[in-house]
Each structure stands twice: as C-alpha cells, then as structure tokens.
Structure 1
Amino acid sequence: MRGLLLLLVLGAAPLLAAERPLRFSINDSWAMPMVRIEDGKAVEGILVDLQQRLAAKVGRKAELLVMPRLRVQNALDTGEIDVRCYVSPNWVNSGHYRYIWSLPFMTQRDVLVGRIPGLVQPEDIEKKRLGTVLGFTYPRLQPLFDSRQLLREDARTQHQVLLKLESARYSYAISNELSLHWFNRQRPAHQRLHTLSEIASDPIACIIRDDPEVPTMALLRAMVQMKQDGEFDALLARYR
C-alpha cells in the first residue's frame, strides 16, 4: 500500500510541476487604467484582468511580478518571466529566438496634452518643458529633445506626468489616450486636460517565452480566440 502511494505521488509530481503559475511582468511606471500597484503588488486594472484571464484560459494561475521597466526585457530573455504583455514591436530594438509575438490586441495612441484646447504639433513648440515618463522613448520627439527645441522633464509614472501638467509645472505633456481618459473621467469639464495632437500610434501585443515549461502555443491560440470573441474590446470598455 505504501509503495502504491509512493508511485502515485511520484507520478503526480511532473503534473504538479507543469501547473506552476505563469509569470507575467508588470511595469512599475504604469498607472491606471493599466494597473494600480499597492505595496509592490498589482491589484487592479486592464493588465491584471487581461493576464489573469489569459492564464485561466490555459488552466494556470497568473503570478504578476512588478519590476522596473528597464528590467522587464532582460527578465524575459533570462527566463525570470514567461509573458510580457502590453508591448509593441516598435518599442523593442531586436527580436529574440526565445520568444514569440502574439497578435496585436489593441492600439496605443500617444498624444500631446495641454490645459487649453486647440491644435498644436510638438514641432511648433519652442523651448518649453514637456512632461514625459522616465525611461519611455518617443521616436518622433527625440530630434526635438536632441536639439533642445523641447526640454524633456521626466516623472516616474504617467499619472504623475498628468498631475504635474494639471498643476502647471509645465505647459505640455505626452500621455497615452487611455491614461488621459482615466485621469479626466472624474474631473469637471473645466478642469480636464485636452488632446492637442496625436504623436504616435502603436500596435500592442504580448511576448510569450518559447520554452517547454510555458504553454506558448495554447496562449497564442487563447489570444486569437479572445480577439474573435470580443473579450479584449469588452475588457477595455470597462476602463474607458
């Protein structure tokens, strides 16, 4: 009897090992509606819902690992995380044979934001400080930063950038549309910040590590099915 129990335990061990949680990265510079971080843990937001749903689709739990943006890609390359979501091919300098891109599930639009409505292009601004997120790249704006036509002023999160713009720490800032809509949603009309022009539009996807420990193809198929069933649109609509 003891021998039978031992065989059962040993036989179950590989299955238990295979069912470890899927490790997703959370960039600590993100803010709502992408994610709310409390005490170093991701507690709500689009990415929390998306990644928990994606893991459940393949019969796993999601482990959400909060880390600095500059650590995320290295963590994927070295196998510390399994999935990196909310990333664009336009933001990653090179591909890697160890991971596979999913289909894009949304588009991120980055916009120039101001306190006064109007149509303004960044190239028309001279010698003004521009609110940006620490570590984020803005290819269209980089020549303007290099020539000192625009003076980049970083904050740690997108929410902090918008707060500083609201308090007139600078005249203009860059934000993605989702974050700007979230910031404005509980403010009266006269206090809302305004989109002045679009500066970039990028497809957003997930990178999945191609490894025997990761159900890579199952995750890719799950994302295709979620897209076809309208789950991504429904998820985003909850945070607009």
Structure 2
Amino acid sequence: MPSRSRLFFLPLPMLCAAALAGPGELVMLAPVDQAMPIARFQNGAIAGGIVKDFGDVLAQRLGRRPVYLNADVPEVTPALTGGRADAMCYVMPFWIDGDYNWSPPLFPDAEMIAARSDAPRLRSLKDLRDRQVGTVLGYRYQRVELVLGARFKRTDAPSMEANIQQMVAGKVPYTMISEATLNYQHRINPGMKVRGDLVFSAYKAQCAFSQKSAIPFDEVSRTIDTLIKDGSIDQILARYR
C-alpha cells in the first residue's frame, strides 16, 4: 500500500484536461470553500482536516494512492458527474446536483446560527427576517429559505473561513456555520467574541461517489463499513474535538 505521505494535489483545469483517475489512484475533491475541522489548506493544497484524514485512510485501505483535487462549489458537479474525481466527502444529497453512489451517514454535524456577542439573541429562525446574515457563495440553506423566503438577507463570502471573518470583523451580526466549525473555532480561539445561538438542522454528512468511477462501489462500501466498525472514523473525528 502507498505511504500516507505520498499525496498528490491537482488544480481543476489540469484534471479537466486529463481522463479519469489513473490506475491505483483515489481522486477526492478538496472543498476550497470549507474551513477547519473539515478542511485546511496550505500553499494551495489541502493539508489537514476531516476530509483529508478520511481520504487518506480510505485510499490506504483500498490499496490506492490519494489524489486531492481542489474544487469550489460550481466545480463539484462537473467533476463528479464527468468522472474526473472519484468522490467528495462531507456533503449531503440535497447540497449538490447529480446522481451519485452515497456512503452511509458518517460525520455528525449541525447547521446553526452563530452570533457576535453584542448581537440580540435569536429565539427562532424568524428572528432573522430582514437581518444581514453571513453565508457562503453557492451554499444552499433550504430550511432558512423556507422559513424566511424573500426576507432572508444573505451576505455571501467566498468561503467559510471568509464568512467567519466577516462576522468577527463586524460586517454582519449573524452567520450560518456548522456546529463542528464553530466548536473548532472556539477551541483554537477561546477569546473569540462569537456565540452559538440557534441549531436548526442536525445531520450526518456523507460521501458522494461518482457513478463513472473506475473503483467498484461495492468495494468502497465494504471498506467504509470496515472503517466504521473498527473505529477509524471515530478516531478521525476525535482529533478535532
């Protein structure tokens, strides 16, 4: 099996010019719009986080070399449906377009509203009517849109990291964030004047596998089942709590 230190990173244009994943490779999409603990980027390449840790272990168990392809929101569907990437993790079926083979639920998390410490407390999503809310460009917030409709006032940032920073800087009083990301931010920045106000949707994120992947999905499913049963996924999640 390949060493976990032998990782390869490709920008999307380079991979678009290529065919499908090469023999012996597992090509995973690296979500450049995400923040820790989901993904950490350094010098333009994914360097840590749950997505990378899981991809490394999955590739190792499959006897393949992990290759990470940076992708923002608009690039996800073409890369997966076209078979230029084998998989993307930490997603949900209603977050991305296309038909995929889905893993079982793997990564517990929740959608929530974070607030600056000086912002009025929220009792429900309805309290966000006509208030500026930090969001990530291209992200879908179906529950919030259903409740607020046209009174959902998005202030889009290009990534979750930028979304957090615009709230800390005082540009918006509230922001949409995952519970895991907020907890991680509090862990590394205990003095951050941001609180969790309202959890409105708990979920367990999954992995989407391209139907054009050369890796048999039955083999992938068996491997993921083993990772669940032997505690490998719990060990990954525990690193970031």
Q: Sort the TM-score into its range (normalised by shorter chain).
A: 0.7 to 0.9
TM-score normalised by L of structure 1: 0.83
**How is 1:118-157 mapped onto 2 (pairs within 5 angstroms)?**
118-143=121-146, 146-147=149-150, 149-157=151-159
In the other structure, the counterpart of 1:171 is: 173
**How is 1:88-99 mapped onto 2 (pairs within 5 angstroms)?**
88-94=92-98, 96=99, 99=100
Letter in 2 for 1:76: L
Letter in 2 for 1:164: Q
How far has the Cα of 1:199 moved from its partner? 2.0
SS at match of 2:188: coil
Letter in 1 for 2:141: Y
Structure 1: gaps (5+ residues):
1-16
Rg larger for: 1
| Separation in structure 2 between the aligned mates of residue 37 and residue 134 of structure 1, nearest angstrom | 18
| Separation in structure 2 between the aligned mates of residue 27 and residue 103 of structure 1, nearest angstrom | 20
Letter in 2 for 1:238: R
Aligned pairs, how many? 219
How far has the Cα of 1:109 moved from its partner? 0.3
Which segment drifts farther, 220-229 or 194-203?
194-203
In the other structure, the counterpart of 2:114 is: 113
In the other structure, the counterpart of 1:61 is: 65
TM-score normalised by L of structure 2: 0.83
SS at match of 1:51: helix
| Separation in structure 2 between the aligned mates of residue 127 and residue 179 of structure 1, nearest angstrom | 25
Counterpart contact for 2:26–2:64, Cα < 8 Å = yes
Letter in 1 for 2:36: M
Structure 2: gaps (5+ residues):
1-20
How far has the Cα of 1:205 moved from its partner? 1.1
Q: What is the identity percentage for the equivalent residue pairs of Structure 1 and Structure 2?
A: 27
In the other structure, the counterpart of 1:80 is: 84
Counterparts in 2 of 1:88 and 1:32: CA distance versus 1, 3 Å: same
| Separation in structure 2 between the aligned mates of residue 154 and residue 23 of structure 1, nearest angstrom | 29
**How is 1:27-38 mapped onto 2 (pairs within 5 angstroms)?**
27-38=31-42
Counterpart contact for 1:87–1:207, Cα < 8 Å = yes
SS at match of 1:90: coil
Letter in 2 for 1:155: A
In the other structure, the counterpart of 1:181 is: 183
